[in-house]
Each structure stands twice: as C-alpha cells, then as structure tokens.
Structure 1
Amino acid sequence: MTRLTEAAEGVYVIAVTPFHADGALDLESTDRMVDFYLEAGATGLTVLGMMGEAQKLTIEESQCVVRRILARVGGRVPVVVGVSAPGFAQMASLTQMVMDDGAAGVMIAPPSAARTDDQIVSYYAQAVSFIGDVPFVLQDFPLVTSVQMSVPVIRRIVNELPSCVCLKHEDWPGLDKITALRADGALNRRISILCGNGGMFLPEEMHRGADGAMTGFAYPEMMIGVVRHAKVGEADRGQDLFDAYLPLARYEQQPGIGLAVRKYTMARRGIIAHGALRRPGGSLSAASIAEVERLIARQEKRLKELN
C-alpha cells in the first residue's frame, strides 16, 4: 500500500458521491467516475470530502463507497479519505477501516468549536493519539469550519506532529499564507500544499509555491492542465487554459447550489448517471440550468480558439 507523503503533488480530485434519483448509492456511476478521473490525469483521489456528501452517508455506506473506489483505482494512484467526525472514536474506527482497505492517508478538518491556537493544536494532537502514525492532511477551510488557522498554528502542528504530511489550503484570501509557509525556516520540514476552492486561484497558488490542487470541478482536466503547465514553466499557457474555464468554475463556486451545478454538469458529460444530491440537498432551477448550458457553450468556444 502506498502511503501519502510530503511529496504529494499534482491534482487530487475531490470525488462526488453518485446517487440514483431515489437517493440510493449509484455504484456503477462510481466506477465510471473513477475511470474518468484517472483517464483525465488525476494524480490522486480524495473521497468523503465536504463536497462528497459524506455527512449524509451511514458508516456502512461510507465503507462501501471507499471500498468500491479503492477497488476500481487498483493502486494506480493514492486515495485520501475524509474522516472528520464529531468524536475521536468514530474517527479512529473509520481511519482503521479505510487504511486496512488500502487508503493512502486521511483528511481531518478542525471542529468549529476550536477557537484558540492551543485548542486547535490540542485537537490535532488528540486526533493523532487515536489514529496513530497514519499520514493525514490538515484541512484549512475557514469559510466552512469557521476556524482560523494562522501560520504559527500550522507551524506548530507540522513541527509537532510528523504524520501531518499535507496542508489542504483553502483559506480565502490565503495566497500570502502559502508564501509565508514556503519561506526559509517557516517549517522544520517541507510538506505538500494542495489547494482547494474549486481551483479558483490555482494559477496564483502555483506561483506562490503550492504543489497542486485537492479540490473538485466538473472539468478536472482544467486543474490538471494548469498544474502541468506551471511545473514546466508555461504559466501563461496555464493561465489561458484557466481563463477559458473560469466563468463556469465561478458559477460552480456559489454557496448552496455549487454541488448541484457540479453534479448536473458531470451527468451532462456522461460521467455519472444522475445529478441527484441526497436529501437534504437542493436542485437547479430551469433558469440556473439555462445559465450553466450557456456557460458550457461559451467555454467550448474558447477552448476551440485555444487549440
């Protein structure tokens, strides 16, 4: 089993969880989705993230989804699993389950009740005491968790907990945070920084020293292309590619309906059979669908011009 390390780079696509129209798991679409992500060039996959509707799954369903994805991946790329939970016992149980099944590491978000630096650091130290030396991704997503992780807090976690191998950077604005963490002597070791927010700032994040992305978008090939161009010194080419997809990426980032937009588009592309969200979850209005279709048409036009 390949374990996640500080060398993680590229694009770890946040996988959606496909459902049938009645809310049941759609495992056939799950297989098709994994094939699509791998064919597009994903470096890894992240399962049961916040956009994977993990909070709507039972423990048994979570295990079923993870096992299905791991089996389909077949060890070709690392798979990270979100294990954030209300209690450490549940987190430890899910961690052991997915690592035994072949996951490369886990991702942990801080609890919304954590407010002080000491509370945040203590939470992760306690989490590690439950999950052992399993490599974990530190999820920094204050727009959702309401937890502000300063550079000194991240430094303490990285320096004190060797199993923290990656930062999922999703602060907004947060570009200066990347620069600060990449400064000489900022950390006692270099860790991977993979960025989120649907890739909305990916060109700038790569310029600041990020190693890639760990996020979702209905067209992950955009993020894969931007990262690839950045790594070979073709930042302008990556920016041109990013610009072609930006209007739809921006539309998909809307709070509340963003996941519905992503799933609608993925179903439209034939990646999954249905764009359904499990309840509670919204659906797109006719007006929203028309706007998405218009943005896709304009995007296709821009891509033809680029090529």
Structure 2
Amino acid sequence: MALLTEDARGVFVISVTPFHPDGSIDVESLDRVTDFYIEKGATGLTILGMMGEAPKLTQAESRAVAERVIARAGDLPVVVGVSAPGLAAITELSAAVMDMGAAGVMIAPPGGLRTDAQITGYYAQACAAAGDGVPVVVQDFPLATGVSMDVSVLNRIVADLPQVVMLKHEDWPGLPKITALRRAEAAGQRRISILCGNGGIFLPEEMGRGADGAMTGFAFPEMLRQVVDLCAAGDMDRAQDIFDAYLPLVRYEQQPGAGLAVRKYVLAKRGAIASAALRHPGALPAPETVAEVERLLARLDTRLKELD
C-alpha cells in the first residue's frame, strides 16, 4: 500500500470499532463497516481514533483490528491512530501496523503539554518513536486533548519534521488557522494536507479556507464525499445545499459524550454494523434520544427528496 503524502485529499472516514453487546469485538461487523465506508465514497480510512474507542482496546486488540481493516481495505489508504501516554507504545503499534501495510499513523498530543517548546519537542520525539520515514498525521483537537497548538507551533512542526504530512484540523473555532497555514505555504512553507474533523460541522467553510477534505466519522459519509467534491469543483452553493440537509443530524451527533452512541445507532440502522453497542464505559442512547434521532432521519429523507 502506498504511503500517505502531503497531497492527500478527499474523505478519510474515522471508523467506529464495532462491538457485540457483551463488549467483545464484532469482527464480522468490522468487515461490514469497512465495506460500507468504501461503498459510500471514502478515499481513505482512519482507524483506532478517539471515536473508534481506541483507549478501550488492548494493544493486542488494536493490532488485530488494524490487521483486519488494512487487509479488507485493499488499495485504500488506512491511517492508524497510535496515540498513547508513552512513546514505547507508539513505537510498538506503529511498527506493527506499518508492517501490515498502513499508509501512516496519527498522533494526538498528550494532555500534559503546555508550552510551545513542550509541544514541538514532543512531536520530534513522537515522530522518532513512530519510525524513520513513517508518515505522521498531527491531530489538533484541543477540545479533547486540552493542548492548544498555535499556528506558529504548527509551522515549526511542519518545517522541522518532514515526516508530518497531514494535519487533522479539529480546533474550534479554528477556521483562521487553516487560512494562516495556507498563507504560510504561499510564502514558501512546505505544504501539508489538511483534513478536518469535528463531525464535519464546519466542512463547507473549511473547504473554502483551503482544506483538502474531511477526516471524520459522520454516519453518512456519502455527504462528506459529495460536499468535498463539489467544493473542490467550485460548486459551493450545491455543496451548501446538500450539507444543510444533513446539518441537523450533524449537529446532534456532535454532542460531547453522546455523539458516538448516536453515530453507532445510525450506522446500525443503516446496516453497517450489527449492534450499536459501545464498550464500557459507554451506553446505548436513551429512548428519548432514539426518538429524536428518528425524527431527524425522517426529516433528512424528506429534504433529500426535495433536493433531487
């Protein structure tokens, strides 16, 4: 499989990790959801991320999930989240998944980093831990990690660490950061790919600022692909119309602490996974939540028919 480069574009779907109700990994659903993402237009996959419940998996389970998805994905590039409190775990998992054929690894900063020097120093160590020449995605998600990376810090990381080929942009508010990074590139800075997360809630605006696509796990990945393609083609109005139809569900799925349960419920309803189960700690959505989601899905169906 080809390695990830700074020219990566499109939609790298953040995959859920399917579980049986007893908490064991559902390998058949893992195959099924991988096929589902590909059928709905994914140009890449990202596994073992925060919304893939990676912290709830053992190292052995993480390797097993990676091996199965990478094999199932064929030529589709697969990025593997290897974030861990210690560098030894990053080294171990990175080596394993790259040997399996992963396209690169994603690393989020640990929560204890506070200064710019600590952040840049950490990524220098993390890139070394990932392995020489292994493409690295920097996950910038301060709402989850508590680590704020200023544009100047990201510019330094890009300048000093050629292994960093992509930014997963999840700062919020963060649109000016995309603009600043692209302006730095116009002034001579090395280019990196920018794919955006946060459930796609700002996707049209992010594409307008110069993002290359999405790296998120919204339960309708076909919407992400349509919006990214239309924006890239310059048809911003059509992209916005399609995005607006899905926006109520995007918004609902973005609730901290509840969004993954909603996402899995919708994916199960769509037949992508057999069960909406989360591994503990985690619970199925309450009946009131299910009723609200069903109402949003019904309204989405009506809105899409109006757009045809």
Structure 2 residue matching 1:183: 3-state secondary structure: helix
**1:40-51 → structure 2 map (5 Å cutoff):** 40-51=40-51
Structure 2 residue matching 1:274: 3-state secondary structure: coil
**1:80-229 → structure 2 map (5 Å cutoff):** 80-131=79-130, 132-185=132-185, 188-229=189-230
**1:36-75 → structure 2 map (5 Å cutoff):** 36-75=36-75
- 1:188 and 1:52 map into 2 onto residues whose CA distance is 33
Q: Which residue of 1 aligns with 2:240?
A: 239
- 1:239 and 1:282 map into 2 onto residues whose CA distance is 33
- 2:184 and 2:271 map into 1 onto residues whose CA distance is 46
Q: Which residue of 1 aligns with 2:10?
A: 10
Structure 1 residue matching 2:83: 3-state secondary structure: coil
Runs of at least 5 residues in structure 2 that lack an aligned partner in the other structure: none
Structure 1 residue matching 2:195: 3-state secondary structure: strand
Q: Is the 8 A contact 1:257 1:283 kept in 2?
A: no
Alpha-carbon offset, residue 133 of structure 1: 1.9
- 1:244 and 1:210 map into 2 onto residues whose CA distance is 21
Any runs of at least 4 consecutive aligned residues in structure 1 with deviations exceeding 6 A, and if so which?
A: none
Q: Is the 8 A contact 1:45 1:80 kept in 2?
A: yes
- 1:24 and 1:271 map into 2 onto residues whose CA distance is 17
What CA RMSD, in Å, does the superposition of the two structures yield over aligned residues? 0.8
- 2:25 and 2:176 map into 1 onto residues whose CA distance is 40
Alpha-carbon offset, residue 130 of structure 1: 1.8
Deviations 1:143-188 (CA, angstroms, capped at 9, x unpaired):
0001000000000000000000000000000000000000055562
Q: Which residue of 2 aligns with 1:287?
A: 288
TM-score of the two chains, using structure 1 as the length reference = 0.98
Q: Which residue of 1 aligns with 2:275?
A: 274
Deviations 1:91-122 (CA, angstroms, capped at 9, x unpaired):
00000000000000000000110000000000
Instruction: Give the aligned residue type for 1:98.
Output: V
- 2:285 and 2:204 map into 1 onto residues whose CA distance is 29
How many residues were matched structurally?
A: 306
Q: Which residue of 2 aligns with 1:303?
A: 304
Alpha-carbon offset, residue 282 of structure 1: 2.2
Q: Which residue of 1 aligns with 2:255?
A: 254
Structure 1 residue matching 2:191: 3-state secondary structure: coil
Alpha-carbon offset, residue 128 of structure 1: 1.7
Deviations 1:253-292 (CA, angstroms, capped at 9, x unpaired):
0011100000000001111000000001122111100000
TM-score of the two chains, using structure 2 as the length reference = 0.98
Structure 1 residue matching 2:273: 3-state secondary structure: coil
Q: Is the 8 A contact 1:252 1:262 kept in 2?
A: yes
Structure 2 residue matching 1:13: 3-state secondary structure: strand
Percent of matched pairs sharing the same residue: 65
Instruction: Give the aligned residue type for 1:190.
Output: R
